[in-house]
Structure 1
Amino acid sequence: MFRTPRPRRSHRALGALAVSVTAAAVAAAGLLPADQAGAAAGSLRSLAEAKGIYFGTAIGQGDLDNTALTTVAGTQFGMLTPTNEMKWDSVEPSPGSFDFGPGDRIVAFGQAHSMKLRGHTLVWHNQLPSWVDKLPASQVQTAMRNHITTTATHYKGKLYAWDVVNELFNENGTFREDAFYRAMGTGYVADALRTARAADPGAKLYLNDYNIEGLNAKSDAMYNLAKSLKSQGVPLDGVGFQAHFVVGQVPSSLKANLERFTALGLEVAVTELDDRMQLPPDSAELAQQGRDYANVVTTCLAVKGCVGLSQWDVGDADSWIPGTFPGEGAGTMYDNNYRPKPAYYASVDALGGSTSNPSPSPTPTTTSTPTSTPTPKPTDGAACKVTAELNTWNTGLTENLTVTNTGSSTVDGWALSFALPGGQTVTGAWNATVGPAAGRLTARNLGYNGTIAPGGSVSFGFQATHTGNAGPAGQFSLNGVVCRAA
């Protein structure tokens, strides 16, 4: 699969929060760090960590204003990569003038959610300020060392790993003839790694590239370079496989390829996973995308030394793909409204979770209930409490609801009925199916979160528009039993 360089992207913002909530309400919605509120039950993060790996994502500073996006990022993922905020043109746009503000915002979000952090990237031919390309060859090494040292020192002790050199090979396995190669030859890679290790001894140091996932000329070049660097004692800890795939084209040699790198004593990681298709997507493409994601997850689990996977961007609305490949997209596990797609359920299943995946649909709605969802059974002794966290902006809102079983018996399949204030219309939901879109609604469990033990709880949420009344939902009942609001 040929991929052109990622452009810098603009981000949609949902607006500033207009409602303050208590810490207890935020914790109940799963928005606090894992050590305070715990990872979402059955989340990608918790399932992956139970298997000894991580499942991550990438966001930019503009994404931090999108509450729907950050809710998914903070509850589902355990590793965070900045999309652009640590690249050279952002950090050092002019010689010796450093700006760490954007990157610091990403780091702060990750730390607030107890996520691991990946630095991306110190040396890359793209998004490189023009002043670097214009330097005399004799000055490039000094500029590179200064940039790496200053940047890595700033984030010292905060990052799990750095992508030290990014996308260093052409498709035929030759080195890209960028400013660094022209000035220093192939030796710039070892020099960059040594400089990064001196600046931050605790961070894992990676080389990262795309189209190296299968056995081919480009992956051979990466393998031979890694082997040579290791034999010289150069501090290289791992290789990142970006995994920007096309639906149905995950290479059959993926496992064998990863294993030859781990045999060198290196970590391997899937660093920028997505799986694009022609738009609009159809059910067959979505189903195949699910199989592709499951394939990648199970392969990582099967390779000793594969430490984790990260998806590039959170949902389809944020993806770089349509801007680079016109007519293509839908490459992530979440749709434009941050609702999970078949790829999410397939990934959960591959990690050992339990789901009942609704039939894939290219146009999911919030007003119908999948036929695979069982009808909830009234439960003797059931009682309930609902806590809410509400975020609003000009004409929109998100609301997270946590339902606690205060009864003495387990709830086996649940349906929470509630009323929306007038003028509110649901446009998307997560962790439940919700319908109809207005008036009195019913949220029903998905396949993986249908059981609520006595004293246990389950959380779900929805996004809605409003015409002025941005108040919370009310009049809750669980399987016909009236709940109290907390």
Structure 2
Amino acid sequence: MPVRTLRPGNTPDPSSTPHPRNTRRALGTLAAVATATALAAAALLPAGQAGAAGTSLRTLAEAKGIYFGTAITQGDLNNAALTTIAGGQFGMLTPANEMKWDTVEPSPGSFNFGPGDRLAAFAQANSMKLRGHTLVWHNQLPSWVSNLPNGQVQGAMRNHITNTATHYKGKLYAWDVVNEPFNEDGSFRNDAFYRAMGSGYVADALRTARAADPGAKLYLNDYNIEGLNPKSDAMYNLVKSLKSQGVPLDGVGFQAHFILGQVPSSLKANLQRFTALGVEVAVTELDDRIKLPASSADLAQQGRDYASVINTCLAVTGCVGLTQWGVGDADSWIPGTFPGEGDGTMYDRGYRPKPAYTASAEALGGSTSTPSPTSSPTASPTASPTASPTGGAACKVTGETNAWNTGLTDNLTVTNTGSIPVNGWALAFTLPAGQTVTGAWNATISPSSGPVTARNLGYNGTIAPGASVSFGYQATHTGNAGLPAQFTLNGAPCTVG
């Protein structure tokens, strides 16, 4: 698949380069024991974590009437740090590879739903919506399909869609029914489906998907259609034609694989012209790649880019949500495809939140007061809080831990059990011996070991009476992976449990 976002003047052959974000991540030899271990790790995620924190991205987004999602692979289920963030911060899950044709139907009539089912189970366990990706696509297509005589392609396509969509019936928010049908100039890709059926294959695929699962929203999905250009014009005209024919089509996905500082200025106008046709729109594969090494200025610009995309979605009636492609820089497709580039997500290679995380949270309305310079969209997620703690408070702390080898993540929830709001909070506690904090989210924590203090960020400093705020941290340990035992909030002791 071709490069997602082209630099000015850079025009590689769209048919020559596989789309990296869709190529398979090497899973090694996933034997039955390894698979069982991965599933066990997913099952041990903190119960209710996904919706418990009022400051998670998913909760902030849902409060605005949209979703915020991510994409993972079944191999990612082995990564406890990744799955903790995925289940806690995001409300929509897209399987990166596990529902594509070469996985689901590698040989004619032989269906393998196991990998997709594992990710569907993860989504269900974490109360996440699930996006099906994808039914018809020229890439990651088994050779047996491409080698079929033209007269047999339609039957194979209908059979694949019917079996796959029926298997997941009732479990999905939406299907990317047809993925990336256009070349950069707006012409249809000359793939097996187009050669056999012409442009009519798109309508046929949509009708077949609707018959198999009437409850799932049906999407077309493509890249480099975010701004006004020949490719987005072609998608617009296709959608207009399909709607005029009464073909079932509910939405268009805009992948949004951006280059730092190059979010199209016409993004809003483009999304609006699609919603005017009567379809919803979504940002389906967001990332924002940087030439490495990334500077602090680069990371600040990335925060502005993320905020710009989120603000645009919020400003367009009919934009239903955003999905980041991957969880963190460590599992991103970018470095393997664009040598010398990367760092395109909200979490760094150690799964610590970056300025783009803070900017995203604030764009979603996470700030509880007028942002100070340290909590602006360009600030680091480890910025100082906007308000200083204002005295003690009655409080309760609950926590859950997820440990592995020499690492752990702890998620703590602080509840204001008093009768007055807490404006600015500082939670003091002592880490068990041998634990060292390596990263935190929704709070700053210092120092990194021994007696430490967690302080609010700019968007979660107020805790109303009866309300809660959640934060977490990642740490190393030397054998004691337990939770802290005692806490004080702004100097007042908290109950635990």
TM-score, normalised on structure 1?
0.90
For 1:339, what is the secondary structure of its paired residue?
coil
Q: Is the 8 A contact 1:17 1:393 kept in 2?
A: no
In 2, Cα distance between equivalents of 1:53 and 1:303: 11
Report whether the alignment pairs 1:438 with 2:454: no
Report whether the alignment pairs 1:280 with 2:293: yes
For 1:474, what is the secondary structure of its paired residue?
coil
Q: 1:209 to 1:18 in 2, by over 3 A?
A: closer
Match of 1:252 among 265, 282, 288: 265
Give 1:156 shift: 0.9
Q: 1:259 to 1:462 in 2, by over 3 A?
A: same
In 1, Cα distance between equivalents of 2:433 and 2:166: 53
Report whether the alignment pairs 1:100 with 2:113: yes
Please name the residue that 1:149 is paired with. Answer: 162
Q: Is the 8 A contact 1:57 1:314 kept in 2?
A: yes
For 1:214, what is the secondary structure of its paired residue?
coil
Please name the residue that 1:295 is paired with. Answer: 308
Give 1:146 shift: 0.8
Q: 1:451 to 1:303 in 2, by over 3 A?
A: closer
Give 1:18 shift: 9.3
In 2, Cα distance between equivalents of 1:161 and 1:22: 27
For 1:276, what is the secondary structure of its paired residue?
strand
Please name the residue that 1:190 is paired with. Answer: 203
Q: Is the 8 A contact 1:283 1:362 kept in 2?
A: no
Give 1:400 shift: 1.4
Q: 1:240 to 1:67 in 2, by over 3 A?
A: same
In 2, Cα distance between equivalents of 1:106 and 1:341: 26
Give 1:145 shift: 0.9
Match of 2:49 among 31, 54, 73: 31
Q: Is the 8 A contact 1:277 1:330 kept in 2?
A: yes
**Percentage of pairs with the same residue:** 76
Report whether the alignment pairs 1:41 with 2:59: no
Report whether the alignment pairs 1:227 with 2:240: yes
In 2, Cα distance between equivalents of 1:227 and 1:158: 28
Please name the residue that 1:463 is paired with. Answer: 474
For 1:8, what is the secondary structure of its paired residue?
coil
Match of 1:214 among 220, 227, 238: 227
Q: 1:304 to 1:370 in 2, by over 3 A?
A: closer
What's the CA shift string for 1:262-281, capped at 9, x where partnerless? 22211111111111111221
In 1, Cα distance between equivalents of 2:228 and 2:465: 52
Q: 1:20 to 1:174 in 2, by over 3 A?
A: closer
In 1, Cα distance between equivalents of 2:146 and 2:299: 42
For 1:338, what is the secondary structure of its paired residue?
coil
Q: 1:87 to 1:241 in 2, by over 3 A?
A: same
Q: 1:388 to 1:428 in 2, by over 3 A?
A: same
Q: Is the 8 A contact 1:338 1:430 kept in 2?
A: no
The range that moved more, 86-95 or 49-58, is: 49-58
In 2, Cα distance between equivalents of 1:267 and 1:122: 19
Report whether the alignment pairs 1:426 with 2:440: no
In 2, Cα distance between equivalents of 1:470 and 1:224: 57
Match of 1:112 among 122, 125, 128: 125
Please name the residue that 1:168 is paired with. Answer: 181
Q: 1:19 to 1:377 in 2, by over 3 A?
A: farther
In 2, Cα distance between equivalents of 1:436 and 1:104: 42
Please name the residue that 1:342 is paired with. Answer: 355
Q: Is the 8 A contact 1:78 1:114 kept in 2?
A: yes
Opposite residue 211 of structure 2, the aligned amino acid is A
Please name the residue that 1:307 is paired with. Answer: 320
Report whether the alignment pairs 1:394 with 2:367: no
Give 1:484 shift: 3.5
For 2:140, what is the secondary structure of its paired residue?
coil
Give 1:48 shift: 2.3
Q: 1:231 to 1:72 in 2, by over 3 A?
A: same
| Unaligned residue ranges in structure 2 (runs of 5+) | 7-16, 29-33
Q: Is the 8 A contact 2:384 2:444 kept in 1?
A: no
Q: 1:253 to 1:332 in 2, by over 3 A?
A: same
Opposite residue 9 of structure 1, the aligned amino acid is R
Opposite residue 493 of structure 2, the aligned amino acid is V
For 1:233, what is the secondary structure of its paired residue?
coil
The range that moved more, 251-260 or 44-53, is: 44-53
Paired residues, number: 472
Q: 1:237 to 1:461 in 2, by over 3 A?
A: same
TM-score, normalised on structure 2?
0.88
Q: Is the 8 A contact 1:414 1:451 kept in 2?
A: yes
Q: 1:269 to 1:45 in 2, by over 3 A?
A: same
Opposite residue 440 of structure 1, the aligned amino acid is P
In 1, Cα distance between equivalents of 2:241 and 2:412: 54
In 1, Cα distance between equivalents of 2:137 and 2:209: 14
What's the CA shift string for 1:129-155, capped at 9, x where partnerless? 122122222221111111100000001
Please name the residue that 2:25 is paired with. Answer: 9
Match of 2:138 among 125, 149, 154: 125
For 1:207, what is the secondary structure of its paired residue?
strand
In 2, Cα distance between equivalents of 1:20 and 1:117: 16
Match of 2:329 among 316, 324, 345: 316
